[in-house]
Amino acid sequence: MAPWPDILDTRDPDVAFRHVAACYIGIDNFDVVGKARDFRLNRQKLELGRFVMVRGKLRTGYRLRALPGSHVVAMIPESGGLAMKAGRRLAESGMQRNAIVSPRDRFSLEYHGASGYTLLVGHDHVVRRLEELGERETVAAINGHVPISLDLASPVGVRFRATLNFVWGQLANAGGLRPPPLLVAALEELLLNGFMILLSPKGQREADQVSNPGRRLVLEACEIIRARIDEPVRIAEVAGTLGVSARHLQAGFRRQFGKSPQAFLTECRLDLARRKLLEQVPGRSVTATALECGFSNLGEFAGKYRERFGEKPSETLRRAG
């Protein structure tokens, strides 16, 4: 079974080229920008059903020319500089870290010390979804010859970035194992819907007019819970941080995920426990791991762990050793 996520950490530009070649076709003029000895690419890749998600960090930079192949390629920077040019049209990430979507024609791309996401979605699937939304102009742009710049500072852009970070956190932090297919499919659909709205002017207008503060609050709550996973977490305090009642937050979680915030916290702690058990740390014990991850009842921990991962925590620890 392929590793989850697929991780690459290299200082070799040739190895980096092979990674980039998996995203595009017809690459030529692949050059390192800056000192070759300082070059380093670190990236993780998740292959879903309709999405390929890549999150990487690049020291120095590179430039290339390529064709997008059978995918719509969206680059979403978190830091550094990104510029894409097709013909005489130039799109840059700028200070707002705008997303850039590749055209259906040959383009040049240049990164400078950038980190962020690259999303690859089947071109035919994107076009079909946009046609279902009646977005003929957006379809024409996706099939066009110039790069598309997407404003991630807009309310829709901010929500999409939050969704992207949430989905990545759920999928990439699964202790090296691919999450259950139903969870992957649900999160992929969540991300795909957000991407369609980001691409679509009509979708953005409708999202602004009929926003769903409940979903945003739930996503923010998930980030807070994840950030405090190794601390005592009171759901009432999380709700207070977001300016809502605990009952409101409970209802939001059940509406969005079909589970309570406490159940989400328990799953996060189980995932953390699994990562710790797989770390191959000398002297690691199941009891100490359970306590470190916020479980005071060892029997309950063992039962929930086996229910989630299909094996006892002791079996995981023994297999890691």
pLDDT, block means (10 residues), the chain with 321 residues: 79 86 74 86 89 89 83 88 88 80 90 86 91 89 92 83 86 77 82 88 55 70 80 82 83 86 90 87 90 89 91 89 69
Output the pLDDT for position 143: 93
Q: Which two tokens stand for residue 122?
A: 């089947």
Nearest residue to 223 (alpha-carbon basis) of 265, 186, 181, 273: 265
CA end-to-end distance (rounded Å), the chain: 20
Q: Which two tokens stand for residue 126?
A: 């994107």
What domains are there in the chain, each with its CATH number? 6-153 (2.60.120.10), 215-321 (1.10.10.60)
Average pLDDT, the chain: 84
Give the other-Cβ count within 10 Å of 141's Cβ.
19
Give the other-Cβ count within 10 Å of 32's Cβ.
16
**pLDDT, tens digit, 9 for 90 and up, residues 107-128:** 998 888 778 999 999 999 999 9
Query: Residue 139 in contact with residue 114, Cβ under 8 Å?
Result: no
Say how many residues make up the chain. Answer: 321
* 3-class DSSP assignment, residue 281: coil
Query: Residue 154 in contact with residue 167, Cβ under 8 Å?
Result: no
> Rounded distance, CA 98 to CA 66, Å?
21
Query: Residue 40 in contact with residue 32, Cβ under 8 Å?
Result: no
Output the pLDDT for position 101: 93
Output the pLDDT for position 302: 93
Give the other-Cβ count within 10 Å of 131's Cβ.
12
What value does the CA radius of gyration of the chain take, rounded to a whole number of Å?
Answer: 21
**Sign of the torsion angle spanned by Cα atoms 181, 184, 239, 276:** positive
Only one residue has tokens 């759901």, namely 235
